[in-house]
């Protein structure tokens, strides 16, 4: 009953999506309010049915109903409840259902809160959403149906991939999907604007917050995925430039660019066409990411199953939407009215530079991701594009971008004063130089570029602080006045500062971790002591323990420094009988922002065990940075003011900061 109702609800959602993709468009043509309003109620009903369908699948997993093939293949009756629930999207079919559920959620939100949107714009937006939804409902029903049944249900399931049996699965995919799918809103708005042939002010007012929501989730999702890989895979790596990671990084880069250009558009009514193009590109890259991960073109921990029909189906969806939207853009873009003008040296100019660098960086990643695939398919020649390629291409681009970041927020709209900004950033520059000097003096060995990169990171953070200091006038006016001004500052200004500082923080973490991490790989017996980065790591013993659906071998290490005991670390190896595979559970000891990392290898017959111990200085900064960025994004999102960029009068000498 639950299974079949869930299945039927999904089918009904498809039916509603089909109606939603046609009727509102006819309504918009005829200027018929009732027909246009069909979009709203169908979007909400769609959300209801997909939500019910998703809930049904969750219930089936929780009840261990092995008459559903999806549950049988990915669940086990003895799995803890949390993993029974997260296991719903720990497989291809379930994760696609989550994908469409989130798509319906965003559609429903536009329908519910879009009262202040012009009626025809809302009808168009929801119709475009419904096209995407219809394509993916069909994809799910035809090629990856999670509700298929087994007539003679087996008594026990095959269990979830042990690597995925982790709290990370509860957070990483939903976050990432909220990000990916969230960009569908700006895509739908862009297509709607192209179809209507005009972009009004309401358009910009809507696109920026939605893009921001998607961007926040994507940022957190990527950071979470990276941290998960770091502690679960047992090698202490947090970014591998593998195609699946790139697939999430590309929409992030394009989305970041979109976020900034949407800002220009909202405030200054400029860069309209470019913003539309970026909206299309960002969502296209999200679709491309879905294709790369879900088609089985790439085998990785994310490719749950490989099935050529799925790949072909997604490829069709991809071609239809990307090709269709880009040709629509090519045909209609010229008819759109261009907006405000600005001088090259201005806030707008800085944002254009930001967009340029981000899109080129995105193109570099795209090239690095697709080139090996193309080579493999066309020339039957296997190659991998790894860190060296990105260090040579992506890193310099990003360094340039970071160098420019502190300048952007300090330039005035329409026409800016670069020299003045440089003077005000002097302190930040000095801070950066001091950081370089300290890093140079303190560091022994490592890459020559590392101190420079640290200096850059400090410069970005100091630049963000300078911006806030300038705005509040902290050094010039009495403290109480500054405090009052700080409270009065628009929250988006704080958001900008936090997000930009987050970039610097992440950069420092990345540089420190890659340059000065130390590792110790050894076979250890009981009471052996390893020395790493000033810590003494002593193996106290090995013992076995029984988990709910696995057995684990735990090694206990005593950590001390200069003879003083600090902590006990217990990495383990779990073996899962049902899948006949095992996972390594690394133990992490956090000291400030640095971590000690121990993971186990294979045990010998004579009681010795292979151990990998890493010391990772300031590694946590890598993830604190994105968290800070997301926090900045949320601050900016909570700022619900209407925005208008006040240009500085051309003749009047500058006295204060321009308003946000």
Tell me how far, at minimum, the Cβ of 44 lies from other proteins, in Å. 7
Instruction: Locate 299 and state its tokens.
Output: 């085998």
Decide if 584 contacts 603 (C-beta within 8 A): no
> Which member of 58, 119, 164, 247 binds other proteins (CB under 8 A)?
119
Neighbouring-strand partners of residue 584: 573
**Is residue 269 within the footprint of other proteins (CB under 8 A)?**
yes
- Work out whether 243 is an interface residue with other proteins (CB under 8 A): no
- In Å, how far from its chain's centre is CA 435? 30
Pure H helices in 89-118: 92-113
User: For other proteins, how many residues bind (rule: CB under 8 A)?
Assistant: 83
Question: Measured from the CB atom, is 493 or 593 closer to other proteins?
Answer: 493
Q: Which stretch binds other proteins (CB under 8 A): 45-53, 159-167, 462-470, 510-518?
A: 45-53
Stretches 210-218, 374-382, 418-426, 652-660: which one binds other proteins (CB under 8 A)? 652-660
The CA radius of gyration of the chain, in Å to the nearest whole number, is: 27
Site for other proteins in 202-241 (CB under 8 A): 202, 205
Query: Considering only CA atoms, which of 494, 341, 499, 348 is closest in space to residue 412?
Result: 348
If binding is defined by CB under 8 A, does position 487 make contact with other proteins? no
Which residue number, 23 or 588, has a Cβ lying nearer to other proteins? 23
Q: Which of 50, 54, 65, 407 binds other proteins (CB under 8 A)?
A: 65
Q: Of 626, 405, 597, which Cα lies nearest the Cα of 513?
A: 597
Euclidean distance between CA atoms 110 and 139, whole angstroms: 24
Alpha carbon distance 423, 649 (integer Å): 21
Q: Does 592 contact other proteins by CB under 8 A?
A: no
284 SS3 class = helix
Give CA–CA dist 476/467, Å, rounded.
14
Query: Contacting other proteins (CB under 8 A), which of 57, 117, 247, 366?
Result: 117
Tokens representing 363? 């193109």
Q: Tell me: does residue 655 bind other proteins (CB under 8 A).
A: yes
Q: Which is nearer to other proteins, 73 or 245 (CB)?
A: 73
Site membership for other proteins, residue 638 (CB under 8 A): no
Q: Does 341 bind other proteins (CB under 8 A)?
A: no
- CA geometry: angle at 421 spanning 416 and 426, to 5°? 170
Q: Which of 34, 160, 157 is nearest to 95 (CA)?
A: 160
Residue in 20, 175, 49, 23 with CA at minimum distance from that of residue 111: 20
Q: By the 8 A CB rule, do 470 and 497 touch?
A: no
Nearer to other proteins, 201 or 430 (CB): 201
Contact 406, 464 (CB under 8 A): yes
Which string of x and - marks every residue 292-331 that binds other proteins (by CB under 8 A)? ----------------------------------------
* Coil/strand/helix, residue 401: helix
Give the interface segment with other proteins, choosing from 117-125, 225-233, 602-610, 622-630 (CB under 8 A): 117-125
Kindly list the distances between the CA atom of residue 527 and the CA atoms of 84, 518, 589, 600, 607, in Å, as whole numbers in the listed order. Answer: 39, 22, 20, 16, 12
Binding of other proteins at residue 574 (CB under 8 A)? no
Which C-beta is closer to other proteins: that of 311 or that of 490? 490
40 binds other proteins (CB under 8 A): yes
Of residues 505, 514, 517, 512, the one with CA closest to residue 624: 505
| Min dist. Cβ of residue 237 to other proteins (A) | 33
Q: Tell me: does residue 31 bind other proteins (CB under 8 A).
A: yes
Name the residue nearer to other proteins (CB basis): 79 or 172: 79
User: In the window 534-563, what residues touch other proteins (CB under 8 A)?
Assistant: 546, 551
Nearer to other proteins, 109 or 141 (CB): 141
Residues in region 136-165 near other proteins by CB under 8 A = 141, 145, 147-149, 151, 153, 155-156
CB of 546 to other proteins, least distance (A): 6
- Decide if residue 581 touches other proteins (CB under 8 A): no
CB 588 within 8 A of CB 567: no
Closest CA to 556 of 543, 575, 565, 574: 543
Q: Please tell me whether residue 112 binds other proteins under the rule CB under 8 A.
A: no
According to CB under 8 A, which one of 441, 445, 488, 563 is a site residue for other proteins? Answer: 488
Question: Contact with other proteins (CB under 8 A): which of 112, 167, 201, 392?
Answer: 201
Q: What count of residues does the chain have?
A: 660
- Which tokens in the block code for residue 238? 């947090």
Strands 535-546 and 529-532: antiparallel
Nearer to other proteins, 50 or 223 (CB): 50
| Nearer CB in complex with other proteins: 150/373 | 150
What secondary structure does DSSP assign to 144-189, as a single string?
--TT-B-SS--SS-----GGG-STHHHHHHHHHHHHHHHHHHHHHH
Instruction: Kindly state whether residue 644 participates in binding other proteins, applying the rule CB under 8 A.
Output: yes
Tell the smallest beta-carbon distance from residue 599 to other proteins (Å): 24
Regarding 614 and contact with other proteins (CB under 8 A), the answer is: no
Q: Point out which span in 166-174, 326-334, 350-358, 647-655 binds other proteins (CB under 8 A).
A: 647-655
Residue 8 engages other proteins in binding (rule: CB under 8 A): yes
Closer residue to other proteins (CB): 33 or 430: 33
510 closest CA partner among 179, 223, 215, 172: 223
Which residues in 346-385 contact other proteins (CB under 8 A)? none
In angstroms, the CA 14 to CA 257 distance is 33
Q: How far is the CB of 478 from other proteins (least distance, A)?
A: 15
Token pair recorded at residue 100: 């469409």
The answer to whether residue 35 forms part of the interface with other proteins (CB under 8 A) is yes
Using DSSP's 3-state secondary structure scheme, residue 260 falls into helix
Q: Cβ closer to other proteins: 172 or 573?
A: 573
Q: Is 639 in the site for other proteins (CB under 8 A)?
A: no
Looking at the Cβ atoms of 242 and 307, the one nearer to other proteins is 307
- 42 scored as a contact of other proteins (CB under 8 A): yes
In the list 21, 57, 66, 286, the residue contacting other proteins (rule: CB under 8 A) is 66
CA separation for the pair 524, 538 (Å, rounded): 9
């Amino acid at each position: 009953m639950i299974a079949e109702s869930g299945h039927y609800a999904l089918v009904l959602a498809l039916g509603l999506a089909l109606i939603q993709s046609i009727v509102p468009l006819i309504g918009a043509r005829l200027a018929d309010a009732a027909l246009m309003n069909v979009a709203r109620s169908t979007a909400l009903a769609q959300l209801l049915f997909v939500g019910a369908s998703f809930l049904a699948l969750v219930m089936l997993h929780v009840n261990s109903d092995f008459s559903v093939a999806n549950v049988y293949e990915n669940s086990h009756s003895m799995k803890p409840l949390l993993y029974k629930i997260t296991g719903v999207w720990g497989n291809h079919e379930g994760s696609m259902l989550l994908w469409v559920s989130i798509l319906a959620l965003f559609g429903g939100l536009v329908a519910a809160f879009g009262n202040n949107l012009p009626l025809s714009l809302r009808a168009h937006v929801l119709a475009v959403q419904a096209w995407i939804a219809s394509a993916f409902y069909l994809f799910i029903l035809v090629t990856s149906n999670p509700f298929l049944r087994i007539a003679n249900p087996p008594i026990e399931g095959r269990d979830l991939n042990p690597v995925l049996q982790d709290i990370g699965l509860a957070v990483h995919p939903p976050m990432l999907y909220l990000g990916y799918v969230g960009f569908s809103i700006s895509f739908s708005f862009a297509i709607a604007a192209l179809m209507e042939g005009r972009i009004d002010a309401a358009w910009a007012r809507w696109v920026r917050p939605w893009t921001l929501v998607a961007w926040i989730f994507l940022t957190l999702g990527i950071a979470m995925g990276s941290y998960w890989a770091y502690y679960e895979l047992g090698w202490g790596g947090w970014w591998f430039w593998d195609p699946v990671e790139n697939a999430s990084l590309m929409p992030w880069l394009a989305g970041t660019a979109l976020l900034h250009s949407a800002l220009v558009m909202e405030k200054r009514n400029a860069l309209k066409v470019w913003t539309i193009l970026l909206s299309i590109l960002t969502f296209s890259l999200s679709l491309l990411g879905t294709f790369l991960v879900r088609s089985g073109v790439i085998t990785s921990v994310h490719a749950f199953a490989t099935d050529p029909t799925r790949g072909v189906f997604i490829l069709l969806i991809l071609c239809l939407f990307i090709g269709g939207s880009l040709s629509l853009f090519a045909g209609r873009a010229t008819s759109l009215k261009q907006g405000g003008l600005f001088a090259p040296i201005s806030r707008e100019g800085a944002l254009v530079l930001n967009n340029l660098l981000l899109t080129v960086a995105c193109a570099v990643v795209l090239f690095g991701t697709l080139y090996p695939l193309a080579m493999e398919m066309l020339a039957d020649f296997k190659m991998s594009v790894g860190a060296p390629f990105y260090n040579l291409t992506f890193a310099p681009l990003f360094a340039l971008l970071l160098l420019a970041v502190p300048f952007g927020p300090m330039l005035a709209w329409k026409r800016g004063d670069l020299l003045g900004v440089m003077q005000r950033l002097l302190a930040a520059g000095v801070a950066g130089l001091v950081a370089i000097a300290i890093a140079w003096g303190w560091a022994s060995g490592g890459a020559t570029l590392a101190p420079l990169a640290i200096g850059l990171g400090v410069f970005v953070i100091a630049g963000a602080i300078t911006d806030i200091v300038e705005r509040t006038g902290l050094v010039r006016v009495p403290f109480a006045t500054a405090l009052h001004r700080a409270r009065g500052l628009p929250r988006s200004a704080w958001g900008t500062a936090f997000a930009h500082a987050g970039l610097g923080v992440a950069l420092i973490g990345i540089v420190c971790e890659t340059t000065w991490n130390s590792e110790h790989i050894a076979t250890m017996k009981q009471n052996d002591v390893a020395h790493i980065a000033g810590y003494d790591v002593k193996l106290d013993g090995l013992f076995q323990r029984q988990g709910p659906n696995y057995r684990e071998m735990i090694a206990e290490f005593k950590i001390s420094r200069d003879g003083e005991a600090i902590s006990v670390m217990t990495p383990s190896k779990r073996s899962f009988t049902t899948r006949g595979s095992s996972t390594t559970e690394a133990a992490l000891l956090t000291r400030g922002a640095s971590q000690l990392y121990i993971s186990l290898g294979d045990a010998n017959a004579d009681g010795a065990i292979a151990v990998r111990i890493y010391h990772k200085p300031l590694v946590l900064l890598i993830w604190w940075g994105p968290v800070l960025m997301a926090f900045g994004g949320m601050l900016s999102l909570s700022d619900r003011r209407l925005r208008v960029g006040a240009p500085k009068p051309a003749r009047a000498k500058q006295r204060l900061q321009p308003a946000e």
